[in-house]
Amino acid sequence: MRQIKRKAGVVLAATALLTGVSGLAASSAQAAETATCWGTNVTNNSSLETTMKGTYNLKVGIGVVCGNVRSVPSGSTFYVWCGAYNPDSDVLWFLGRVKGDSTSKIGYMSSDNLNYVSGTWSYC
């Protein structure tokens, strides 16, 4: 009888754990659905120079859900014009351009993808 109660307890604990995990997955999916592509004022008020940590997409707005301007290869120089935090994730994003690109190809890059070289940044 004691062994049956122990097994029942294990089954109940496993069921509760699985229910909790599936609830987290649903919450994460709902959060992803509500993500927004944020924008800022176009302001060039910074002197920050960075390089790409890897190959990442330059975005049309602040957030991974935003469309792409273009792919930027690892090691490329990215000149920061200004920065802003994504209200959905609290991640810092920079508006700027890739060295060699015209100013018509500006876009946003997550600060997580960049290595500091020199200079400072200001808010957009």
Dump pLDDT digits (tens) for 86-102: 999 999 999 999 999 99
Nearest to 81 by CA among 63, 65, 58: 58
Cβ contact 84:124 at 8 Å:
yes
State the Cα torsion 94-100-105-106 to the nearest 10°. 20
Mean pLDDT of the chain: 81
Dump pLDDT digits (tens) for 25-49: 344 444 445 789 999 999 999 999 9
For domain 49-118, which CATH number applies: 1.10.150, 1.10.10, 2.30.30, 3.40.50?
2.30.30
Q: Where are the domains of the chain?
A: 1-34, 49-118
pTM for this model (two decimals): 0.73
Q: How far apart are CA 65 and CA 45, in angstroms?
A: 26
